[in-house]
Amino acid sequence: MGYTNGSLYISLMILCTYVCTGKAIEAKVSALFTFGDSIVDPGNNNFIPTIARANAPPYGQDFPDRMATGRFSNGKLSTDFISAELGLKDTVPPFLDPNLNTQDLLTGVSFASAGTGFDNLTAQVVSAIPVLKQVEYFEEYRARLVDLVGEENSSNIIGEAIFLCVAGSNDFLENYYSLPNRRAQFSLEQYRDFLINIYLTFIEDLYKLGGRKFAMYGLPPMGCVPLERTLYGQSISGCVEIYNQAALSYNTQLMSTISTLNTSLPDIKAVYVDIYNSSLDIIENPSKYGFETSSRGCCGTGLIETGTTTCNSATPVTCSDSDKFYFWDSVHPTQRGYQITGHEAFQKYISKLL
């Protein structure tokens, strides 16, 4: 394999760390890799020139040591909870963090970037990392992994890992419905299919790099987030139905695409993760889950604040108990919201990949 005696010794020690700590025995899979937007970005945007950041208080106020890590939450993300349920680790770190340790590389990292989408034009709005560019970062990760543990072990880790992707909302809300270019090119149905085809290319590219287990998230009820309710003038009267109908149409098409994937690529196992209905049930019945409200976020008014440009230490009247709120800011759930939806996603869908 081209190892020197020293590098072989180091690789064996790394493998021993992975196995002897019990993580490989406890874990139901080898690693968790996450891709997509702010819902699963644990801080990659901290290391690129973008305004889409959550790296200052009050973000992270309920994270260990009250750290604002770059997660768009008061604490952990759903993927952190999913990683723990898989028996891997309590948090999934960002790939771009220069201080990644070997254990993190062995058990999974996130390539996600807040503000991004499948459409490259979406990522350009805030200078985020496009989803297909995240595949290139995964190639870099794979090369580092091979250097650490060799080709065969790397292939085994990647082949037994879960690849999780959450994206698409920004493509509609921050691009198609907000900017003129794509609406001039595509009908809503054509744009939906345009995004689905990019999603398909994304999965096929990761499959070529050794991925076999995929958790493919659909869109949430994006017309129900407080920001869109506010902008559309429906902060009290309800959700923006045209946005929700677009999400439902997209999700139906995605389910069909996943079915085709599972029959066309050997050894692939892809599952559709329905985040729409789990989120909508919380939004429509917050008290059922112990929340006092789901129509506004915890930070400030909770109607327009999102990211450190508007939700920051100078924001007045951030709520005293975030557990009573489903939304942390005007777009993203609280840690408790993420925990509930993450657990349901694991139990109903991701567990099928084990």
Question: Coil, strand or helix: which one is 37?
Answer: coil
Which stretch of DSSP H or E encloses residue 85? helix 78-85
Token pair 């009908």 in the structure block, residue:
187
Question: Out of 30, 41, 279, 332, which one is annotated catalytic?
Answer: 332
Whole-Å CA distances, 319 to 38, 186, 310 = 22, 41, 15
Whole-Å CA distances, 9 to 107, 323, 344 = 20, 48, 42
332 is catalytic: yes
Beta strands in 143-277 (DSSP E): 162-166, 213-217, 269-273
205 is catalytic: no
Write the Ramachandran bin of 19: left for phi over 0, alpha for psi from -120 to 50, otherwise beta: alpha
Which stretch of DSSP H or E encloses residue 15? helix 5-20
CA 340 to chain centre: 15
Question: Out of 38, 73, 78, 154, which one is annotated catalytic?
Answer: 38
Question: Out of 97, 119, 171, 329, which one is annotated catalytic?
Answer: 329
User: Residue 325 and residue 319: Cα distance in Å, rounded?
Assistant: 9
Which stretch of DSSP H or E encloses residue 32? strand 32-36
Where do the H-state alpha helices sit in 221-307?
A: 226-231, 241-264, 275-284
343 is catalytic: no
Candidates 190, 244, 255, 189; CA nearest to 218 is 255
The residues, any chain, with a CB within 8 Å of residue 281's CB and separated by 6 or more, are 288
DSSP 244: H
Point out the residues that are catalytic. Answer: 38, 329, 332
